[in-house]
Amino acid sequence: MNDIICPHCKKVFKVDEAGFADILKQVRDHVFDKELHERLELAEKEKENAVKLAKADVEKLMQADIAKKDKELIELKAEKEKEIVELLAKKEAEIADMKAKIDKTEVEKKLSVTEAVRTIEKERDDLAGELKSKETEKQLLEKSLQEKYSVELKTKDDIIKMKDDEIALRKDMKLKLSTKMVGETLEQHCEIEFNKLRATAFQNAYFEKDNDSASGSKGDYIYRETDESGNEIISIMFEMKNEGDETATKKRNEDFLRELDKDRAEKKCEYAVLVSLLEAENELYNTGIIDVSHKHPKMYVVRPQFFIPIITLLRNAAMNSLKYKAELALVKSQNIDITNFEENMNNFKEGFAKNYDLASRKFKSAIEEIDKTIDHLQKTKESLLSSENNLRLANNKAEDLTIKRLTRGNPTMTAKFAEVSDTGKTTKGK
């Protein structure tokens, strides 16, 4: 059960999971339709403004070119009229001179007048023809300008039509994508697209969900592929982000790059790819496969339609370097064997040194104990020798012992011994 609080009366309603999901779907559909309608209106306004601006620019250019050509024609016409006037004035002066000369001779007058008139008429006709050619050139120029700008206008209209077709195509793609995504997530969509090609293009590949969250976070899918010898060809950590899964606060693709790089490093994957529907209006992410390795190593951001192409591109690049990886693995295994041999040798040396040190300490301890025993026996010997000397001195003293010495300085004992000695003598006399 879920609690829903009324924004007006603040009353709490209990709604089951199905009802809550239905309400959430209605809110999402309404928001999506509203945003789609607003974006379509904005596109229409931008198209109208672009058409108006293009027409205004073309008209402005045409007016400027026509005004420039009119000005050139007026200047040329004025120049030609000036030349004609000068020529006419010059010819009139010549005619006056001719008339003055004709007055002298009628024959010369007639011949000169006839010839002068003929020449002037010819020049007049030439000037009239030249002026007519200029008018014709002006008309041709105006016609060419009109044709040129009409072609440009038609080109602009074709471009606008192409833009309209592209907008309609994108609308249709969004509608199809939305219809296809009903009842499934972006993760399921990518998994289905991969499984369509698994049996033919990715027979030795591992592509499963990342269920290990021991470190506190996990990606969505892990792609791994190895060769027959067990050498890893490529490994990719995938993260899928759908616009529909987010709240009203829109997220950016950059918000998930750091966590994706952390998951890639913890799962020991070589590449990281974010498959995203976020920032749908961002032209950068709509152009194709975006390399963001300048922020995090070996990381890319793609739209769902480039999910299979990014795997193919990275896999083909890894296959080209497979030979070098195999050689590197062989060298690494050889280095491991040498390291193990050196480690065993060092362990033997350490064990031998430890045993030698222990035996040496035991031997030294035994020598020290023997030395202590010898010292003790030597002291015992010295003590016995000293006791023998004392016994000899005692014996000598005992041999030198007499009654006289014992009773010296003791009158009582002297008297007693004297009495005993006299008694003994008396007994002997009897």
CATH architecture type of domain 183-322: 3-Layer(aba) Sandwich (3.40)
The reply to whether the predicted model has a pTM over 0.75 is no
**Distance, CA of 393 to chain centre:** 106
Domain regions of the chain by residue span: 121-177, 183-322, 361-391
Q: Residue 368 has which token pair?
A: 């020290």
Read off the amino acid at residue 199.
A
Distant-in-sequence contacts of 295-299, Cβ < 8 A, 24+ apart: 295/254, 295/257, 296/257, 296/258, 296/260, 296/261, 296/272, 297/261, 298/264, 298/270, 298/271, 298/272, 299/257, 299/260, 299/261, 299/264, 299/271, 299/272, 299/273, 299/274
Residue 50, classed as helix, strand or coil, is: helix
E strands present in 101-163: none
Identify the CA nearest to 241 among candidates 179, 285, 197, 195.
285
pLDDT value at residue 245? 44
| Greatest mean pLDDT among 126-135, 193-202, 206-215, 366-375 | 193-202
Residues with Cβ < 8 Å from 224, sequence gap 6 or more? 205, 206, 207, 232, 234, 235, 236, 269
Judge whether residue 293 has pLDDT over 80: yes
Q: What is the C-alpha separation between 70 and 78, in angstroms, rounded?
A: 12
Identity of the highest mean pLDDT range in 218-222, 329-333, 391-395 = 218-222
pLDDT at 310: 93
Per-residue pLDDT tens digits for 215-260: 777 888 999 988 877 778 899 999 988 865 445 567 889 989 999 9
Residues 403-427 pLDDT 10s: 666 666 667 767 776 777 677 666 6
Checking if the pLDDT of 429 tops 70, the result is no
